[in-house]
Structure 1
Amino acid sequence: MTNNPEHILVAVAWPYASADIHVGNITGSYLPADIYARFHRLKGNKVLMVSGSDAHGTPITVKSDAEGVTPEEVYKRYHADFLELFRKLGLNYDLFSSTHTQNHFKVSQSIFLALQRNGYLYPEKQQQWYSESENRFLPDRYVEGTCYICGYEHARGDQCDNCGNLLNANELINPRSKNDGSTPSLRETEHFFLDLSKLEPKVVEFLEARQEYWRPNVVKQSLGSIKADPLHGRAITRDLDWGIPLPIEGWDGKALYVWFEAVIGYLSAPIEWSHLVDDKDAWHDWWYNPQAKAYYFIGKDNIPFHAIMWPAELAGVGNAFSDIFEGKDSLLTLPYDVPANEFLNMEDKKISGSRNWGVWGLDFLSRYDPDPLRFYLTINMPENKDSNWDWDDFVARNNNELVANWGNLANRVLSFAHKHWEGQIPTPGELRELDKEIIATVESGFDSVGQRLNGVRLRAALQEALRLATEVNKYLDTAAPWSEVKEDKEGAAKTIYTAIRCIDNLKVLFAPFLPHTSEKLHGYLGYTRPLFGKQFTEDVSDDLGQHTVLRYDPTDASGTWQASKIEAGSPFNQPAPLYKKLETSVADEERARIAE
């Protein structure tokens, strides 16, 4: 446990509530955020992990138009699925909310007014695509065409998924409406713009102060992008009925652009959480505290919005937001790190919902346990380059690493101990040198695994924990307690006690990655309080209606990032295998399922 707890804001990408979540989304942002948050909870730091459903994205209105239902119906349907998935996967959000709340409206409108007060917003007339067949202006995401930078034929109006560049929708080649495929025409409309050219010096200063420890891909798509193409004004409003209305008169029919307001959720969610825990100023510890560290877990397609646009908004509001929102004089905390992941493909092809090419979170968990998924997505995490989901590899890693290495170690030692020492931790007497050495080796993992976790090198951290488990298996191969117990039970007691000490340590080292099975093992070892707190859902009502949130209660959590103190002679419970070995036929069965 740390003597000087840090305040750690774990800000997780807000999923559009218009599509099912697949493994690429999970390993891109949701899972790494949870691993990082769990590590810091074990360290004793003050963690606040927040996110929610992006309810106002144009993909939602596109889907609602196609289905003939309201955008709210679409968002709430997918939001419910997200909550179910995150609970099953074990993502311990302090708050997973939504952008369609009265609180988020107020916070977003206050950001708008603060930027306006400080002179960073300006109105400007512009040409925007207009659909004659639909008789309305088309938001950028309603328009597709060929990217004028890389030539990708299915670029969105706001960004190209192929090259990652932000786009000017008006410059798309061969534009077409996503709704009916018709060719739109340009018409004049008026919007507010964020004056990014005026904010550029602040953004560059912010980025240069962080370039030494940020991931190269993030630096390239932020600071590198600005140096190649200086910032210019970007519209923050759109002609939409669904969304957050402007807080000024004379602008009816305009809503805040989703790229501008969705990131504000990282601020509005902590404020909502504070009210839910009956401490309305609690969020100040993360947002008005210059010592707090804010980590933003996103996929690489969102780097410009989190490494350029959001810092620009925060720098632009200065202390005006706190004044407008609650009559205070405080600056908001800028991001400390944006550890964006690359993409996860499947079987060497890009995951695609329209082609049903992917592994979908809830579907996977209907057949498999959550920790094998968490394990494979972490050991295969695309931290520095794109990685690949391969069903043969999933089965092999589950069987050879998760089951044969770690799972088998825990089960065979505890089963053997329960049988020969009648459900009590053996009393070892004076430990031998080899016993002390392996305990010290495993306990060093609190530094070696911890350093990797703290640096958001999650893949390397899990590999290090696996290496330590392998060392314990080697120790057991040398000591051979299975035969030793027949001739020298006292010597076997030393070996098994030592192994249990190591397993108790490894349980904690694996806990951020494999929380479900770590909790099971924690119980087998005789502990009565859980490592982590519990998740629960809650219905919240405001003037916009009712929304359901996912929350985390840390009250019963007892886990700490420190060496085992398990006592000889203490009782423990009959264990059961932590993981299931998978048949090799699973890979072909899953491929056939996708092909159906």
Structure 2
Amino acid sequence: MKDYKRTLITAALPYANGPIHIGHLAGCYIPADIYARYLRAQKKDVKFVGGSDEHGVPITIRALKEGVSPQDIVNKYHAQIKESMQQMGISFDIYSRTSDKVHHETAAAFFKALYDKGLFEERETEQFYDEKTNTFLADRYITGTCPVCGNPNAYGDQCEKCGSTLSPEQLINPRSTLSDAVPVKKKTKHWYFPLQDYEAWLKQWILEDHKEWKANVYGQCKSWLDNGLQPRAMTRDSNWGIKVPLPDAEGKVLYVWFDAPIGYISATKELTENWADYWCREDTRLIHFIGKDNIVFHCIIFPSMLKAHGGFVLPDNVPANEFLNIEGQKVSTSRNWAVWVHEYVKDFPGCEDTLRYVLCSNAPETKDNDFTWKDFQDRNNNELVSVFGNFVNRTFVLMHKLCGGKVPPLHGEVLDDADKAFISDIQQAPARVQAALDNFRFRDALFEVIDLSRKGNKYMQEKEPWILAKQLTADNPDREASQQKIDNCLHLCLQLTANLAILINPFLPATARKLLHMMKVVERMLDWENAGKLNLLSVGYSLRAPELLFRKIEDAEIEAQLEKLRAGSGQQPVVSDQSSVISDQQAVVSGQPSQVSDLKPQISFDDFSKIDLRTGTILTAEKVQKADKLLKLEIDLGFEKRTIVSGIAAHFSPETLPGKKVVVVANLAPRKMRGIESNGMILMAEDREGRLVFVAADNEAPDGAAIR
């Protein structure tokens, strides 16, 4: 990797139209914070910037619902989001907002610079218009009946009930949300950015120069580029947003996805007068932490804007995460199917690190993952309390009981093989943690830290210093040898405790500071260069009494959260351990060991016998236009040929699929996807890396054979 002098970390700007939920944290804010804290511990020059996105249709819709102005909305939710970030330990160097004057000036100047270069194309197009309110309607201002599932309250861009991507033209009985009038088409003028002119450059920059990017990011970018780029309007008809800085642009504002990423630049301007060092010098590494729904904006649109403007660094990496579902269902703010951060910190005071731990250890790094309250409880009680916290507590209790509350000496001459192996574990762990962090594998890095504490418990259990203490009688000739063994055990366990504070600090900062307090050491001990050292606590140094690092989460607390989730969304009682979701006409069998126990409720044989599983052969495969994940498959079932739309495009190239034997759910009700009727479901499995593989079908079985 290139030797960069400084690093600029950005985290996606949340819309200030409501509070943040745990999906936001898992998607980008906790990973970004872990990485920023890690680089700071390495004494690197790093800036971590973020802020609230305060323009766009979601803001005005919320204002309309609450009967207040858009400015009232952003003021309210910016303050709430900022407080939630602080409570969860997200350590931004600045958390700004796009309604600030410096941002308006920066974004307008950026647009004008591209305009002055003659890069924009002016186009007159027809757009839906509300004649009662004299307002051009963004897609979200139009509702109607979903043509896929019949939901009467689908939006003009998406049905939040079935998840289908829509356009206003597809809605049945469309209505304006402003007046309930039937929208009409009216001509309007906008300025388009020629993305297609940057297609060749993007293919080289991403597909050739950044093959190290995460597979989900690289795959989505490749899909967009393979389908060809089109000009994109960078202005909208609205009175809320950054006014287009042109004389003939009355009633026009900048497209929110043009102005929002420029918010990273304006926030850096607010943070430091040396902002250009972080944006305009080639020895700066720019890293965007985002969720997968923002990949196209941060990997294709914003880099093209920066390239067109000139003089800016481009992102070196965009480690986007997938989505976090809750109790087996997609997060839906409209249905209140979410765990809100501001409510969590009230319900679980002092447990912010527990949530950070769970969201990192279960992070959707390579695929969508599921948060369940039962898993939250299990990870807290069985890992944080019983492993990490237990090791630290036992070490301190025994140190006070057997060593007078002071760090005992290390008797090198009597170290045995178990001691030496334990020392090696302590010394080697930092390199494994660092390798994972350097490659944005935060789950793996956290596992290494917890596993090290697990090794500490095992070492202490094998050494049994409490048994050795019974041999410290005056008439015992082995008294001195027993004391030396006790000293060595507890000395090494205390040195491990100090190392655990360093290694856990990027992940659980409040826990690291509790450990510093107990050890009576200053914060600079957390510098990364100290990881792996065995002299962090001086012999004879007095340490404080132990404090419990984590508390046990009780069953009643979990039941209360499940009831809150159910009541808030108006659903039936939640079954916490039912975490599998079937989507995109594709059934997935998980190969992850951690999910083996997440079984669905038992069914009867009669229920199972209703499923008709058949063997088939893929005849043709092609990409579905404007759908990153979908492939259209023609499958021979022996007795007939079927069209099935399957969400496997990120895992397979169409040309590799013809001739593959597959297992098909043949009696699944048809479902339209992107205007294509899908008649069945392909059974897939996930390997241990999260990649999809076909469920094996015997090549000797004829097409259409029933699977029993």
Normalising by structure 1, report the TM-score. Answer: 0.87
8 A contact 2:385–2:550 mirrored in 1: yes
User: What amino acid maps onto 1:287 in structure 2?
Assistant: W
User: What amino acid maps onto 1:401 in structure 2?
Assistant: E
For residues 494-534 of structure 1, the C-alpha deviation after alignment (integer angstroms, 9 at most, x for no partner) is 100001111211221111111101111112112133678xx
Which residue of structure 1 lines up, in the alignment, with residue 532 of structure 2? 563
User: What amino acid maps onto 1:198 in structure 2?
Assistant: D
Which residue of structure 1 lines up, in the alignment, with residue 303 of structure 2? 311
For residues 218-270 of structure 1, the C-alpha deviation after alignment (integer angstroms, 9 at most, x for no partner) is 12222212212x11111111111111112222212211111110011111111
Change (3 A) 1:512 1:256: same
Cα distance between partner residues in 1 of 2:532 and 2:92: 26
Which residue of structure 2 lines up, in the alignment, with residue 300 of structure 1? 292
8 A contact 2:4–2:284 mirrored in 1: no
Which residue of structure 1 lines up, in the alignment, with residue 369 of structure 2? 387
Which residue of structure 2 lines up, in the alignment, with residue 416 of structure 1? 398
Change (3 A) 1:183 1:36: farther
Change (3 A) 1:113 1:221: same
Cα distance between partner residues in 2 of 1:531 and 1:131: 63
Which residue of structure 1 lines up, in the alignment, with residue 338 of structure 2? 358
Which residue of structure 2 lines up, in the alignment, with residue 581 of structure 1? 552
SS of the aligned residue for 1:123 comes to: strand
Which residue of structure 2 lines up, in the alignment, with residue 328 of structure 1? none
Change (3 A) 1:351 1:465: same
Cα distance between partner residues in 2 of 1:160 and 1:194: 28
8 A contact 2:503–2:531 mirrored in 1: no
- Of the three residues 454, 467, 476, the one matched with 2:438 is 454
8 A contact 1:41–1:47 mirrored in 2: yes
For residues 67-101 of structure 1, the C-alpha deviation after alignment (integer angstroms, 9 at most, x for no partner) is 22111110010011112111110000001100011
Which residue of structure 2 lines up, in the alignment, with residue 289 of structure 1? 281
For residues 403-460 of structure 1, the C-alpha deviation after alignment (integer angstroms, 9 at most, x for no partner) is 1000110111012212332322111221444223212212212110111111111111
Shift of 1:155: 6.8
Which residue of structure 1 lines up, in the alignment, with residue 38 of structure 2? 39
Q: How does 1:45-444 map to 2 (within 5 A)?
A: 45-144=44-143, 157=156, 175-179=174-178, 182-228=181-227, 230-274=228-272, 280=273, 282-318=274-310, 331-368=311-348, 369-430=351-412, 431-444=415-428
Which residue of structure 2 lines up, in the alignment, with residue 552 of structure 1? none
Shift of 1:159: 6.9
Cα distance between partner residues in 1 of 2:331 and 2:98: 26
Which of 1 and 2 has greater Rg? 2
8 A contact 2:428–2:532 mirrored in 1: no
Change (3 A) 1:58 1:110: same
Shift of 1:154: 7.2
User: What amino acid maps onto 1:563 in structure 2?
Assistant: G
Cα distance between partner residues in 2 of 1:440 and 1:163: 53
Which residue of structure 1 lines up, in the alignment, with residue 663 of structure 2? none
Cα distance between partner residues in 2 of 1:101 and 1:292: 26
Which residue of structure 1 lines up, in the alignment, with residue 638 of structure 2? none
SS of the aligned residue for 1:296 comes to: strand
Structure 2: tracts of 5 or more residues without a match: 472-481, 568-708
User: What amino acid maps onto 2:522 in structure 1?
Assistant: T
Cα distance between partner residues in 2 of 1:289 and 1:162: 46
Cα distance between partner residues in 2 of 1:39 and 1:162: 40
Cα distance between partner residues in 1 of 2:193 and 2:163: 21
For residues 51-73 of structure 1, the C-alpha deviation after alignment (integer angstroms, 9 at most, x for no partner) is 10111121111111222211111
Change (3 A) 1:310 1:61: same
Shift of 1:493: 0.7
Change (3 A) 1:158 1:219: farther
Cα distance between partner residues in 2 of 1:131 and 1:421: 79
8 A contact 2:56–2:240 mirrored in 1: no
Cα distance between partner residues in 1 of 2:372 and 2:5: 38
Cα distance between partner residues in 1 of 2:563 and 2:167: 41
User: What amino acid maps onto 1:197 in structure 2?
Assistant: Q
Shift of 1:190: 0.5
Shift of 1:490: 2.0
Shift of 1:562: 2.7
8 A contact 1:202–1:315 mirrored in 2: no
Shift of 1:128: 1.0
Cα distance between partner residues in 2 of 1:47 and 1:428: 38
Shift of 1:152: 9.5
Cα distance between partner residues in 2 of 1:197 and 1:593: 48
User: What amino acid maps onto 1:238 in structure 2?
Assistant: R
SS of the aligned residue for 1:340 comes to: coil
The Cα RMSD (Å) is 2.6
Which residue of structure 1 lines up, in the alignment, with residue 512 of structure 2? 518
8 A contact 1:129–1:170 mirrored in 2: no
Shift of 1:142: 2.2
Cα distance between partner residues in 2 of 1:252 and 1:232: 26
Which residue of structure 2 lines up, in the alignment, with residue 540 of structure 1? none
Bigger RCO (CA 8 Å, 6+ sep): 1
User: What amino acid maps onto 1:246 in structure 2?
Assistant: V
Cα distance between partner residues in 2 of 1:291 and 1:359: 40
SS of the aligned residue for 1:238 comes to: strand
Cα distance between partner residues in 2 of 1:61 and 1:391: 34
8 A contact 1:195–1:234 mirrored in 2: yes
User: What amino acid maps onto 1:575 in structure 2?
Assistant: P
Cα distance between partner residues in 2 of 1:560 and 1:243: 46
Structure 1: tracts of 5 or more residues without a match: 275-279, 319-330, 533-557
Shift of 1:173: 6.7
Change (3 A) 1:584 1:149: closer
Does residue 464 of structure 2 align to residue 495 of structure 1?
A: no
For residues 131-189 of structure 1, the C-alpha deviation after alignment (integer angstroms, 9 at most, x for no partner) is 12322111233235688999999775567889999977667676443445543111101
8 A contact 1:95–1:273 mirrored in 2: yes
SS of the aligned residue for 2:315 comes to: coil
For residues 297-335 of structure 1, the C-alpha deviation after alignment (integer angstroms, 9 at most, x for no partner) is 1111111111111111111111xxxxxxxxxxxx21111
Normalising by structure 2, report the TM-score. Answer: 0.74
